[in-house]
Amino acid sequence: MNYYNEIKNELINNEITKKVKDYSMNRSDLSTYYNVGKLLSEAVKAL
């Protein structure tokens, strides 16, 4: 077993997982803010 490669792969996989989670959170935030903006716009039009 090559411990160096195993350790390197673990660290790389961890970084990839973090980036995917960050992307998902950013996408979720963007979707939420878009929907809030859309609702506010519709509320103003209904006045």
3-state secondary structure of 47: coil
The predicted pLDDT at position 47 comes to 87
CA-CA-CA-CA dihedral for 14, 15, 20, 26, to nearest 10: 130
Considering only the C-alpha atoms of the chain, give the largest distance between any 2 of them, rounded to a whole number of Å: 70
CA separation for the pair 43, 24 (Å, rounded): 29
Looking at the whole model, is its pTM more than 0.85? no
Classify burial at 43, counting beta carbons within 10 Å of its beta carbon; exposed 0-12, middle 13-18, buried 19 or more.
Answer: exposed
* pLDDT tens column, 12-43: 999 999 999 998 989 999 999 999 999 999 99
Q: What was the pLDDT predicted at 38?
A: 94
